[in-house]
Chains A and B, each alone.
Chain A
Amino acid sequence: MPKPENFDKLTPDQKRKARLEAWINHEGITFTDPEAEKGYRERAQMFADAFEMKKPKRLPVAIATGFVPFLYAGYSCKDAMYDTDVLAKAMMKFHADFLPDTAASAGLYVPGQVLEILDYKLYHWPGHGVPENTSYQCAEAEFMKADEYASYLSDPSDYFIRTYLPRVMGALAPWKDLPPFTDILELPFIPWSTLPFGLPHIQESLKKLMRAGELSLAWAGKVAEIDNAVVTTLGLPKYQGGFSKAPYDVIADTMRGTRAMMLDIFRPDCGEVRLFGGPMSEDKKRRIGYMPEERGLYRDQKLAPTLEYLATLKGLSESEAARRLETWLKRLDLWGDRQKKIQDLSRGMQQKAQLIATLVHEPDLIVVDEPFANLDPVNTRMAIEMLTEQAERGKAIIMSTHLMFQVEAMCHRIVLIDKGRTVLYGTVDQIKRDFSTNAVLVEGQGDFQSLPGVLEARRENSHWHLSLAQGATPQAILRALAEQEGARIERFELAEPSLDDIFINVVKDGASARNGGREASDG
């Protein structure tokens, strides 16, 4: 069905319309008689109307046939999968007798011989694991082991070729002996990498696969013939473009089996969470206070009951929660608003309430994400005080923020994460020292431009920025200044870069490293 030339430029709605048009106009289909064509158009139109929420001429009927066509025509389910003449006769009879509004494809009834050649283990099919008059059924098992997720996810093709397929198809079992195709790197590797294909058991598996391929090809030709006959003689539109599987189905049905997959949900595949010097436990969760960036308070509930509820979730009794909350609410100037609904509080007030919820159970580990967002200067100072107070009481605080000056003022250690990777980690002092240039800031009066060891002296607002020559030390500069006649020094300090500067530098370097170092080589 050709689409309009400008198809790629259409909106999704227009594309849908164009597809339906093309479907109704049956481009590429030649009907055996005008009646069939008329019937086709009418049927397709009914579906198109239904899709577009218009009332169709009548309710169109699309059916999932299962194996009914064969049982109806007096054949077995097994016949359908082993005899394409039966497939043709039964599909035609079923559609001609019932005239559903769509053509069901014969492609659903896959060739049993191909499955046999491959020794396919994931399914049982009629006469092969289930009775001849029963549909094929999935017989899931652990074709992927619990510890193989990483291997599968890191290279799905390799995993399928050398691990999954050898397990799920007996004919391909020898493929577990194949080396990875990515070993074929250069000339010296060629013989060693092709050698396995000379081994008899590998060759045997390839022959089986080729035979299965031939049969599948012949079968697919027959399916196209059958489907085409149903469409062109009876005027029944085909309606399935194809099919796929959801990720859950791939993991649960195809690879791990439902039971195993459900256990996988609970079982860690690697690593462990350790906290406070031991494994994580339910009790330890109560020793954590977490303030998410997306606030999580119930908007239509009143402030005090909400905070009390959250506090009891962290293990406080209701009376203890109420007692502590009174102190907190008064301290943060929310006492008068305690019976208001959360949604009626300003964002700053909600922020303070969230902070209370984070701290009320006196956690040992406090995790705060952008804690100062929406706070005015007065409340920001109060929040800083609260966090500092917690730190002074020995609580560990992890703060996520983009405000570098606050990091500088409040944090002992920082970790800088860019694109999911740690690019910087250390104490604030150490990092600033690491990034410091050999320079000093001087404020006062005197001749700062002609000091020995000073490469460049630059006036910055009220002070001078002196870049020192290699080998020159700040101590030597200070000594020289002290000896300078008439000089008056009001401020002398090492010029340290701000965390803002460091952040920008590190992130920019990371970006240039990712770009093949082009930017780095420029500067």
Chain B
Amino acid sequence: MSSPVPPTGDSRNGAYVFRLYLASGAPNSVRALANLYAICRKHFPESHRIEVIDVLKEPLRALSEAILVTPTLVKVSPAPEQQIIGNLSEENEVLRALGLPERQTE
């Protein structure tokens, strides 16, 4: 059972769509969700959608979708699909993976 989180801001179809696999309550998972929200708000506040899949609730789904570690973020669109593992605390890595310009250290 998926629990889609309502997109923040105005969302448009065809914009950034994320799927986040996490284990609810696990520290890394909690941080990942927070980090993802922050990144989205900052870089594409108008155009993103996040689907959160809790492996505690849907354990077999993660297995069948070859999700090994939690948290795992899947960028579904725009294509190509991209997997990012970890709690997303390394923002530059996330941005690079998403094809966005890296944040300059101030």
Q: Do A and B bind each other?
A: no
Give residues in A with beta carbon < 8 Å to B: none
Give residues in B with beta carbon < 8 Å to A: none
